[in-house]
Structure 1
Amino acid sequence: MGRSGAGRADVVGRLLYDFNTEFDSPTPRAGEFAARFARLLTRDDVLVLLAGDPAEPTGFAYLTLRPSPYFDGPLMQLEELYVVPALRARGIGTALIRDILRRARELGCGEIHIGVDEIDVAARRFYERHGFSNREPGEDYRMLFYVRAL
């Protein structure tokens, strides 16, 4: 796994575009994503990890960091995790998760948050298999994530 710099914004933009079009989600064009990532990847609170060959990545993880009053280190948000469809079930996503966890520990993060669509059972199983839960430790009710478009 390697951390992407602004010079790879075009690759990251294309991967995110591919991810959105795979699920028929409304999406900006790959070039628009690339322009945004060119700015985002210069920030210290944004990480993009690329899996596989740097020339032709097999997947990526887009992460953001933010301060939290609940612990000394930052809170990490996994914004997107994508593996090229033809290459799934080969451990690429697991390798990304392991790298995310390693980096989160190195940065002193207190938690990692992930938003997952309820109908995306495969993604939910994947994250649960890697120790993520939609329940606070010791509680029996689920946490929910709410969105409001502006």
Structure 2
Amino acid sequence: MDFRTATQEDLPEIVRLLADDELGAGREKYEDPLPEAYIRAFTEMDAQGGNEILLATEDGKVIGCLQLMLIPGLARLGMKRAQIEGVRVDSRYRGQKVGEALFFEAIRRAENEGCGLVQLTTDKQRPDARRFYEKLGFTASHEGMKLLFDENK
């Protein structure tokens, strides 16, 4: 298994992974051509810096992904933190430690960038994901909250 930062050419495979999930199936649109919103978002992320999609590949094929964001901050004496979102492993590779390896690579990258902690949120409808994160050493130290805006505005 290899790891690399995604390029725009990887977008179809990333969206495929995001949609290959019980919750993602209702949130994502894996179509050909991809909706322009994905291209626009990737372009903004790429320009921002410190915001990447990390890919796990096997024989050049994308088998897992996550978004890794590096966030400078003032709290905790100016500690930089890493945020992980959008974790997905191809359904054909689940249970083969792809997610674990992907996380270890993301954590390694965060440490190399001087982050003092790695944080994530997990949907309460994903108890298996929570158990996975706890197995990796994450603790449920905070209660996450979200405010969703009307998508039709």
Aligned residues between the structures: 141
Q: Which residue of 1 aligns with 2:129?
A: 123
Q: Which residue of 2 aligns with 1:144?
A: 143
When the two structures are superposed, what TM-score results if normalisation uses the length of structure 1?
0.81
When the two structures are superposed, what TM-score results if normalisation uses the length of structure 2?
0.80
| Counterpart residue type for residue 5 of structure 2 | R
- 2:61, 2:121 → 1: CA distance? 27
Unaligned 5+ residue runs, structure 1? 136-142
Q: Per-residue CA shift, 1:18-53, capped at 9, x if unaligned?
A: 34xx32654242323531224323431211111123
How do 1:35-74 and structure 2 match up within 5 A? 35=39, 36-53=41-58, 55-69=60-74, 70-74=76-80
| Counterpart residue type for residue 133 of structure 1 | T
**Residues 11 and 114 of structure 1, relative CA distance in 2, 3 Å threshold:** same
| Counterpart residue type for residue 122 of structure 2 | V
How do 1:1-150 and structure 2 match up within 5 A? 1-19=3-21, 22-23=22-23, 26-30=26-30, 31-32=34-35, 34-35=38-39, 36-53=41-58, 55-69=60-74, 70-135=76-141, 143-150=142-149
Contact 2:70 2:110 in 1 (8 A): no
CA RMSD of aligned residues (A): 2.1
- 1:112, 1:58 → 2: CA distance? 22
Unaligned 5+ residue runs, structure 2? none
Q: Which moved more, 1:1-10 or 1:101-110?
A: 1-10
Q: Per-residue CA shift, 1:97-125, capped at 9, x if unaligned?
A: 11011001001112111111223111111
Secondary structure class of the residue paired with 2:144: coil
Q: Which has the higher strand share?
A: 2
Secondary structure class of the residue paired with 2:20: helix
% identity of equivalent residues: 25
